[in-house]
Amino acid sequence: MTELHMNNVSFSYPDGTKALENLTLSFTSGERVAIIGQNGAGKTTAVKLMNGLLKPSEGNVLVGDWDTQNYTTAKISRKVGYVFQNPDDQIFHNDVESEVRFGPKNMGFEPERVDELTNWAMELCGISEFADENPYNLPYSVRKFVTIASVLAMDSDIIILDEPTAGQDKVGLQVLSNLLDVLTEKQKTVVTITHDMEFVTEHFQRIVVMANRKLVIDGDAQHIFYNENVLEQSMLKPPAVAQMAMQLGFSSKILSKNELFESILAQQKK
Ligand SMILES: Nc1ncnc2c1ncn2[C@@H]1O[C@H](COP(=O)(O)OP(=O)(O)OP(=O)(O)O)[C@@H](O)[C@H]1O
């Protein structure tokens, strides 16, 4: 199992754009973490630094005992799998199964293990029925699952999902929800960037909020969505259910429909 540490990491793009300042974060094995924040906050830059696609301008990123400065992205991706924000930046095969099979095959796993991982990942992502299809004939939401399966099939300890909820309907969100549970059961560390606040409160205990290239807070949903300072700094809106609870004047920090329902029932009984 692999830990990941970012120590005082700053990053500027070659054109001089400063995208990240002094980020310090650590993830232990089996943790599930959401990264949230407005567009341009620095989330994608942060996760690209985690798998070595980008190297820090200052500070260091440690994957286990590897400093990412000293290792190629190909090497690091055996430990940290990154699913790109845009599936079209990742897909390069003409059929779904070849796309998913490429990673484990390229890593030199035994043929049976390649088969096993490919089938497991396609099934978990709900794309087995599309095995022979050209990914570009499939909708965006399914292409996203093709890229997720391609990364899962590499069986890395740490998995980063960049906006997996974008464009997903209820069924897609259920597939994601189940997938997160399976990965947590397997003690994988999962880091997920998302703009879906309902999805965040339903599936993540630990949430990292970023704004203006910096970390704002690293904590749980109650500390974030009921903290005016954090909401103002990060320009985030709490999930609809929390907004409703506030409007109804409930003082307890409600974050789920069940909690809201029970509070309403309790008030009616009084
Ligand atoms: N290749 C690049 N070259 C120059 N600047 C970039 C590049 N990619 C991102 N940036 C800039 O770096 C900053 C952080 O961007 P980043 O994509 O990390 O934010 P983000 O929080 O992931 O946003 P989004 O939610 O839109 O993906 C922004 O100002 C962005 O314009």
Residues 209 and 214: their CA atoms lie apart, in Å, by 9
The token pair that represents 25 in the structure block: 């974060």
Handedness of CA 167, 173, 177, 179 (dihedral sign): negative
Residues 208 and 106: their CA atoms lie apart, in Å, by 33
Whether residue 21 has its Cβ less than 6 Å from ligand 1: no
CA-closest residue to ligand 1 atom 1: 13
pLDDT of residue 9: 98
pLDDT of residue 106: 94
CA-closest residue to ligand 1 atom 24: 39
ipTM of the complex in this document: 0.97
The token pair that represents 94 in the structure block: 């003409």
The token pair that represents 235 in the structure block: 């320009």
Whether residue 194 has its Cβ less than 6 Å from ligand 1: no
| Pocket mutation for ligand 1, best pick of 15, 21, 36, 43 (most atoms within 8 Å of C-beta) | 43
CA of 44 to the centre of ligand 1 (A): 7
Whether residue 147 has its Cβ less than 6 Å from ligand 1: no
Single pTM value for the model:
0.95
Whether residue 140 has its Cβ less than 6 Å from ligand 1: no
CB 241: neighbour CB atoms within 10 A? Answer: 20
pLDDT of residue 267: 82
Whether residue 44 has its Cβ less than 6 Å from ligand 1: yes
- Rg of the Cα atoms in the chain: 20
Whether residue 89 has its Cβ less than 6 Å from ligand 1: no
Per-residue pLDDT of the chain (270 residues; tens, 9 = 90+): 789 999 999 999 999 999 999 999 999 999 999 999 999 999 999 999 999 999 999 999 999 999 999 999 999 999 999 999 999 999 999 999 999 999 999 999 999 999 999 999 999 999 999 999 999 999 999 999 999 999 999 999 999 999 999 999 999 999 999 999 999 999 999 999 999 999 999 999 999 999 999 999 999 999 999 999 999 999 999 999 999 998 988 878 899 889 898 888 888 887
